[in-house]
Amino acid sequence: MNSKNSNNKKMQNLDETFPPSITETLHNFIDNTLKNHIKNSIVETLNQYVDEQKKLQRAYYTNTNAILDNSTAIKELYNKLEQTQGQLEDFKNCVEKMLIEQRQKNGELQRKIHHWEQAATDFFHILERAEDYETDENKKIINRILDEFNGIVINLGMERIIPQPDESLNERFHEVVDEEESEMTPGNIVRCISWGYKIGDKMIEKAKVVVAKSLAE
């Protein structure tokens, strides 16, 4: 308080010391200087504020555009995914349809193959029985037919199984229907009752055979 009173007194003394015109000029200078300083400070502060706002606005537009671009990209990607999903679904349905058709074709082909196998074996059975009961002259004809037909089915992969006397029994190809006393090795084939048939590793029908057993003492 004493310092303030002292300064006020000095200003009063200064006003009393200088003429009024000088005092007024001094006050005007001080006022103008303060005004200019305040004005400049305000202008500088406003300019800084405007610059900051511009930066914020630019950042806002940049971020907004980036968001819009990302949103557009995401929407396009989503549309492509939906389109791809639809294409995959169509492809899946197409494949399933093809598989169903193929299974049907395979089933039909298997039935035809089975019918062909059955027809071939039935024909062989007829010729086999005919060979046993026909005359020698007719047997020659039957054997020629057998040879020709056998050549056809061999080209298609079908083979006859014709066991020979004293041949070892093979349960994979032979089916025992009876036993007979014989001087042959017990368990070996004495004679073939009917032929067997196979295609590759697939057994269609085993050959039916009679096997030897030991002679009674």
- Each residue of 121-143: pLDDT tens digit? 888 888 888 777 767 778 788 88
Q: Which CATH superfamily is domain 159-217 in?
A: Head domain of nucleotide exchange factor GrpE (2.30.22.10)
Write out residues in the chain with pLDDT < 50, as ranges: 18
- pLDDT at residue 125, rounded to an integer: 85
Residues 6+ apart with CB under 8 A from 79: none
- pLDDT at residue 35, rounded to an integer: 73
What are the residue ranges spanned by the domains of the chain? 69-156, 159-217
Q: What is the pTM of this model?
A: 0.52
